[in-house]
Chains A and B, each alone.
Chain A
């Protein structure tokens, strides 16, 4: 089993996350405080402030071991990418199942462009605002 396959499966199932923290049996892995997980998410995503609903939603898809791996800086790259997709799209997207949306407008992809683009379905400004040069242009 490849490392990538293993870590993706860990994320999906929560199985044997002790593999991410060598030397610790699974039963001894405690969830890090949300603040530590949040710090990891901030560093990974490039955003200093993250909506709580986004953090909490992302955390629900991870078992304690995975969260500890993020807090400890040992999360492998593909697990990082999975968490990034969760934070940026607002959806849990398991490899083998249907995606599930837990937030919409709070997804970070919209925050990345918010000075020039509104979140689709929300009003963008006064009627005709789009004729003006965008802030980011």
Chain B
């Protein structure tokens, strides 16, 4: 028995992360009646910190409670929720709760370069965005102001800007400065990373970062921006939030308009919520899955899917890590988890055949793994203590994101084997591969890191490279944006080609993943979308 809720909002936003929260805030501030539906619960930062400190294995997900009705991929075993059909495992994870996945991130808030949005035109690969960089630029600026971004001015391979960053860049750590000398000598551009974390000042009533060194998996003090802030602002502007509401179906009328969202509560009670407009902001996997589950007479292939592009073109930043020991102490683990990056590989002339990338010096405390390593070597007493200290001070890690091109064969679909979650909803099934465009780049990255390590004084051949492709949780592409309704899902306004009152706010709309973190672009498009909807709704 489906119960229809008695009220009818002007806008329903499905999802309560940074994307949904920002759309909802803009619309509510414009006077619209807005309801947000979130599949998970409200989280309290202090609980997350306590859970992190008490957890046995401190992973990216250890602070976050398991919610049976809104399952999340397990960081150690993603196949416990995501069904991996290969040939490469798409080992992403995300948080299904109010605030979403920006509870645990390094707050990296990079803008795309103008060229990142014109890959097809400039390099003959991938797709172009139906937008020009300068159409988004004002929204980038607003997103930076909203989130509180600290960044460098006029840094090489940072995107062009109409104004300064809200805060000056966070200072580089001692380790970053040591690296900077070597990287500069090798000809690289190595710059302070723009980050949505308060740098030595209060911003938006949040405290300055005091270097808790725990951005991932949880900033204990809220110096770092997280999506719950957007949701709280939406609520303060009058938006309603319904939690633990797992949307599984959108209804479509004969004219192609979305009429209602249906959701299940943890006890499987089903509700309908009718509204004038709908924004799907449920993330890069759950969002497309909702569309594909919504098959009906008026949408036989699922909602927004006349192009058959929903679920396809799934991308990430296939990643690599490399660790090595340098002769002098550099002490990784002081301050934010990532402070700087090598940017000069973001856009090169060979981008027609080799993926762009961004290299970062990881600034995370490595002592845990080093302690176990030294103990297993049989060290004891003062020798053990000193070995742990010596190695921790010298262990360097360079991590890299590689740009992946959209490929329709990389896709998410609702389980084709009838595998379901606790609510009886199909689990996401992933078909995924990484092509030679990335593989060539990874090979080149490894050679470059070997040279960097040697220049830093590491023993030749001593670099330990990760195997395969590391996931970076930048889930993009599966409701791709474009001008042609025959091969894209949404238009340049993020409106579904097939439904005049449905928009999608997510990195799933991105036609390219670039080589930089995607959240600032999600936020910029969300603010733009919220403004667009509010203007359209204005009588």
Contact = CB atoms under 8 A, between A and B. Distances in A.
B139 to A, nearest CB: 29
A134 B178 CA distance: 12
Interface stretch (A30-38, A51-59, A106-114): A106-114
B388 interface: yes
A121 B381 contact: no
B371 A88 contact: yes
Given A46-B385, A109-B388, A112-B371, A121 B200 contact: no
B331 A123 contact: no
A125 interface: yes
A62 B510 CA distance: 55
A127 B52 CA distance: 23
Interface stretch (B210-218, B240-248, B411-419): B210-218
Interface stretch (A10-18, A21-29, A65-73, A76-84): A76-84
A101 B59 CA distance: 14
A129 B211 contact: yes
Interface string A111-137: 011001110111111111111111011
Contact of A130 (B54, B57, B173, B386): B173
A78 to B, nearest CB: 10
Interface stretch (B99-107, B372-380, B402-410, B495-503): B372-380
B385 A132 contact: no
Contacts of A1: none
Contact of A77 (B330, B333, B378): B378
A136 B382 contact: no
A137 B394 CA distance: 10
B55 to A, nearest CB: 7
B179 to A, nearest CB: 13
Contact of B389 (A77, A112, A120): A112
Given A98-B56, A121-B212, A134 B389 contact: no
B200 A117 contact: no
A126 B200 CA distance: 9
Nearest to A82: B375
A68 B424 CA distance: 55
Nearest to A110: B367
A119 to B, nearest CB: 8
Contact of A117 (B333, B336, B381): B333
A117 B56 contact: no
Contacts of A118: 211-213, 334
Given A109-B371, A121-B220, A127 B210 contact: yes
Contacts of B84: none
B371 A120 contact: no
A130 B380 CA distance: 31
Interface string B176-220: 000000000000000000000001110000001111111000101
A118 B378 CA distance: 26
A31 to B, nearest CB: 23
Contacts of A81: 375-376, 378
A57 to B, nearest CB: 13
B210 A126 contact: yes
Contacts of A47: 385
B174 A131 contact: yes
A120 B212 contact: yes
A24 B375 CA distance: 30
B254 interface: no
A124 B213 contact: yes
B49 A109 contact: no
B42 interface: no
Nearest to B58: A120
A124 B393 contact: no
B372 A85 contact: yes
Contacts of A137: 174, 328-331, 393
B334 A127 contact: no
Nearest to A100: B56
B221 interface: yes
B473 to A, nearest CB: 20
A80 B376 CA distance: 10
B368 A109 contact: yes
B387 to A, nearest CB: 9
Contacts of B173: 130-131
Nearest to A91: B56
A113 B364 CA distance: 13
Given A45-B384, A113-B393, A130 B371 contact: no
A7 interface: no
B392 interface: yes
Nearest to B334: A130
A121 B214 contact: yes
A12 to B, nearest CB: 16
B367 A117 contact: yes
A84 B375 contact: yes
Interface string B156-175: 00000000000000111110
A110 B383 CA distance: 16
B353 interface: no
A120 B365 contact: yes
B339 to A, nearest CB: 8
Nearest to B329: A137
B335 interface: yes
Contacts of A88: 371-372, 375, 388
Contacts of A84: 375, 380, 384
A131 B378 contact: no
Most buried by B among A108, A132, A137: A137
Given A81-B378, A88-B388, 9 more contacts: A45-B381, A46-B382, A101-B55, A112-B385, A116-B393, A121-B218, A123-B210, A129-B211, A131-B171
13 contacts: A45-B381, A77-B378, A88-B371, A100-B56, A110-B367, A113-B392, A113-B393, A121-B52, A125-B210, A129-B334, A130-B173, A137-B329, A137-B331
Q: Which 3 A-B pairs have the closest CB atoms?
A: A130-B335, A124-B211, A46-B385
Interface of B: 49, 52-57, 170-174, 199-201, 208-214, 218, 220-221, 328-331, 333-336, 339, 365, 367-368, 370-372, 375-376, 378, 380-386, 388-389, 392-393
